[in-house]
Structure 1
Amino acid sequence: MTSILTNNSAMAALSTLRSISSNMEDTQSRISSGLRVGSASDNAAYWSIATTMRSDNAALSAVQDALGLGAAKVDTAYSGMEAAIEVVDEIKKKLTAASEDGVDKNKIQEEISQLQEQLVSISEAASFSGENWLQANLGGPAADLQKSVVASFVRDSAGNVSVKKVDYQLSASNVLFDSGGNAGILDQTANVGNDGVVVNVNIGGTTGSYNVVKYTTAQVSAAVTGAGGAFDTGGNIAWTTAGTGAGAGVGYVKIADDTWVAATEQDSGANSTQEVFATDAGGFEWQITTTNAAASTAYSVSNLVISDTTTSTQLAGMLSMVDSALESMASAASSLGSISSRIDMQKEFVSNLTDSIDAGVGRLVDADMNEESTRLKALQTQQQLAIQALSIANSDSQNVLSLFR
């Protein structure tokens, strides 16, 4: 039936044209945006996943920046520690040279002083963005000594997010200078003993070891001569003050070749519980003066001082102290190097992880441009055909006029 009021063919063609135009709009949107899922209405599940993962990727980008900042802090501390090790090595060499007979120790001290000032300069300069890991107040709040570097952003299976960090605790084993005291590697003190000798003495049935001052034969001879004293027969006892009763005599006893220690003369009738070391020709007993302890001086690597009066024993003690400091510094440098290596690996991992997330999101929401271009070409053809069909359908009413001519 042909009707001039209702053109079913035109309506069908128009409906088809509208559908094709709608599909073309979708295809053109995908081509222009490059996204198959550009909004939640396209695919709510994929859109939600993609939005979350893009947000996480943005957080990982911030983590990469933080890793760069952390790497700079660690590298600065490591460079400072490495430079300080070289300086302390030089101090060790100077002390070794000072152990040679006839060396001008005062001149060597001038060099050591310059090296000590260089250590201070290095520790002060090893700062990045206000962070200095080579000097700190070790007596301050524990939170101030806890250093950390952001390492990763993590979302668990329950959707909870957290930031993981690499921690580094400042302590007396890795800080060069303690700004609040003397607990750093280079400013912590150690007792360096003067020339002494260890003797074993039995007092009241108990034998103990005592580090007492030792004297050479020349020193004892000079002291005895100057005080008008004398040497006992055999040369093993010397006194500066002669005595005739308990504790009246003061002098020295010989315990080894060219080695003497201070002693006190005792009357055999009033002998104390301390063992007798020697008896003189007059029958008086001599006991080692255990209270004449060899003195020691507290030094640190940053304040040790030598001079022409510094003894070989003191130099040996200083060398031992410097060597211990070098061991601690090497251990601290090793820890910093390990953290630096870990940060480098983490940076590479985060970079790869970011790329993987980008690729995963792309698989969910990116448009296949080859497919979309093919679809657009087909829709353009369909659109042209639909327009042609609509044109034919609309011409049917014109054909009715010919019936009335």
Structure 2
Amino acid sequence: MSSINYNSSASSALQTLRDINSNLTTTQNRVSTGLKVEKASDNVAYWSISTTMKSDNKALGAASDALGIGAAKVDTAYAAMDSAIDVVNEIKAKLTTASETSVDKDQVQLEVSKLQEQLTAIGQAASFNGENWVVQGSGSTTTVVDGFIRDSSGSVKVTTASFEAGTYAMFSAISSGVGTGGVLGAVMTIALSSASTQGAIDAYLTTVETALGNLTKGAAALGALSTRIDLQDQFAGKISDAIDAGVSRLVDADMEEESARLSALQTQQQLAVQSLSIANSSSQSILSLFR
């Protein structure tokens, strides 16, 4: 039966065309954005996971930036200790020279005093962004951010690496332009004079040797921390790449597949338009019944 009120063929063809146009719009959007999951309605599970991982990756990137700041602090402190070791070695050499009975010990002390001033200058200058690791009170600990983690329960936290700055600090304080306390406190009290005995000089040498040993331990600890930071920085980079790859698998569109689908849908669209045109023209034949 033919009806002028309802054309089932045209209705079916129109619905088919609507479905094709909807799929074509989706595919065109994927091609233009490169994403198969752009919003939550596309795939709730994948969108949720990718959003969380993108957020974590951004936090991990911030932690990597903080690692760079931490590395700069460590490098600054290490440079100070390395320079201090050279200066203390010079003091050691001057004390050895003063052991010679014919040497003017007062003149040697003039050189030692300048070296002591240099130690204070090194301690004062070893500051990065207002933080000085080589001038610290006893027992103090400094930290650097080294990572961001999310555990199996979903809890997140920032991890840190610590350095016992108070144990290895060159000075505990710098007062009136003179370093005091710390591993170099005793070295700063060395004061030769013409009356100094060989026993006193030997005691000073022992003090210097002790300071050198502590400075070496401190520099070694900083070196170990620097290696730890470098390894963590490399690891953070690998983790970030892995997260990016994982998110890409979840939400990125396969451009080869989408390209093939786009071509197929465009062809289907053209055929559906033709089908709708044919279905609509069939009702025109009814007019022939009244001629």
TM over 0.5: yes
Task: State the partner residue of 1:186.
Answer: 184
Task: State the partner residue of 2:23.
Answer: 23
Task: State the partner residue of 2:156.
Answer: 161
Task: State the partner residue of 1:206.
Answer: none
Once the 2 structures are TM-superposed, how far is the Cα of residue 31 of structure 1 from its aligned partner? 1.3
What secondary structure does 1:176 align onto? Answer: coil
* AA partner of residue 104 (structure 1): D
* AA partner of residue 150 (structure 2): R
Aligned equivalents of 1:45, 1:400: Cα separation in 2: 53
Work out whether residues 136 and 180 of structure 1, in 8 Å CA contact, stay in contact via their aligned partners in 2: no
Work out whether residues 14 and 390 of structure 1, in 8 Å CA contact, stay in contact via their aligned partners in 2: yes
Once the 2 structures are TM-superposed, how far is the Cα of residue 4 of structure 1 from its aligned partner? 2.2
CA deviation vs aligned residue, 1:109-131 (integer Å, no higher than 9, x gap): 11111111000000000000111
Task: State the partner residue of 2:227.
Answer: 341
CA deviation vs aligned residue, 1:148-186 (integer Å, no higher than 9, x gap): 111111111111111111011222x30111228953111
* AA partner of residue 159 (structure 2): K
What secondary structure does 1:305 align onto? Answer: coil
Aligned equivalents of 1:80, 1:115: Cα separation in 2: 14
Work out whether residues 135 and 174 of structure 2, in 8 Å CA contact, stay in contact via their aligned partners in 1: no
CA deviation vs aligned residue, 1:290-326 (integer Å, no higher than 9, x gap): xxxxxxxxxx211311122211111111111101100
Task: State the partner residue of 2:126.
Answer: 126
1:151 corresponds to 2:146: yes
* AA partner of residue 177 (structure 1): F
Larger fraction in strand: 1
Which of 279, 282, 286 is the matching residue for 1:393? Answer: 279
Aligned equivalents of 2:255, 2:220: Cα separation in 1: 52
Task: State the partner residue of 2:198.
Answer: 312
Task: State the partner residue of 2:170.
Answer: 176
1:95 corresponds to 2:89: no
Aligned equivalents of 2:68, 2:256: Cα separation in 1: 39
Work out whether residues 92 and 319 of structure 1, in 8 Å CA contact, stay in contact via their aligned partners in 2: yes
Aligned equivalents of 1:57, 1:66: Cα separation in 2: 14
Query: Unpaired segments of 5 or more residues in structure 2?
Result: none
Aligned equivalents of 2:152, 2:136: Cα separation in 1: 40
Task: State the partner residue of 2:43.
Answer: 43
TM-score for both structures, normalised by structure 1: 0.69
Equivalent residues in 2 for 1:2-401, closer than 5 Å: 2-138=2-138, 145-171=140-166, 173-179=167-173, 182-187=180-185, 300-401=186-287
Q: Percent identity?
A: 54
Once the 2 structures are TM-superposed, how far is the Cα of residue 401 of structure 1 from its aligned partner? 2.2
Aligned equivalents of 2:174, 2:81: Cα separation in 1: 20
Aligned equivalents of 2:127, 2:174: Cα separation in 1: 18
Once the 2 structures are TM-superposed, how far is the Cα of residue 101 of structure 1 from its aligned partner? 2.6
* AA partner of residue 76 (structure 2): T
Q: With CA pairs under 8 Å and 6+ residues apart, which has the higher RCO, 1 or 2?
A: 2
Work out whether residues 64 and 236 of structure 2, in 8 Å CA contact, stay in contact via their aligned partners in 1: yes
Aligned equivalents of 1:340, 1:38: Cα separation in 2: 41
- Larger Rg, first or second structure (1 or 2): 1
Once the 2 structures are TM-superposed, how far is the Cα of residue 107 of structure 1 from its aligned partner? 1.6
CA deviation vs aligned residue, 1:36-57 (integer Å, no higher than 9, x gap): 1111211111111111111111
Larger fraction in helix: 2
Q: For structure 1, which segment, 123-132 or 96-105, has the greater mean C-alpha deviation from structure 2 after superposition?
A: 96-105
Query: Unpaired segments of 5 or more residues in structure 1?
Result: 188-299
Aligned equivalents of 1:137, 1:170: Cα separation in 2: 8
Once the 2 structures are TM-superposed, how far is the Cα of residue 329 of structure 1 from its aligned partner? 0.3
C-alpha RMSD of the superposition:
1.4
Work out whether residues 137 and 180 of structure 1, in 8 Å CA contact, stay in contact via their aligned partners in 2: no
Aligned equivalents of 1:91, 1:134: Cα separation in 2: 20
Work out whether residues 67 and 150 of structure 1, in 8 Å CA contact, stay in contact via their aligned partners in 2: yes
Aligned equivalents of 1:327, 1:180: Cα separation in 2: 22
Aligned equivalents of 2:172, 2:59: Cα separation in 1: 37
Once the 2 structures are TM-superposed, how far is the Cα of residue 35 of structure 1 from its aligned partner? 1.1
Aligned equivalents of 1:18, 1:39: Cα separation in 2: 22
Work out whether residues 126 and 133 of structure 1, in 8 Å CA contact, stay in contact via their aligned partners in 2: yes
Aligned equivalents of 1:101, 1:32: Cα separation in 2: 88
* AA partner of residue 158 (structure 2): V
Aligned equivalents of 2:93, 2:266: Cα separation in 1: 87
* AA partner of residue 401 (structure 1): L
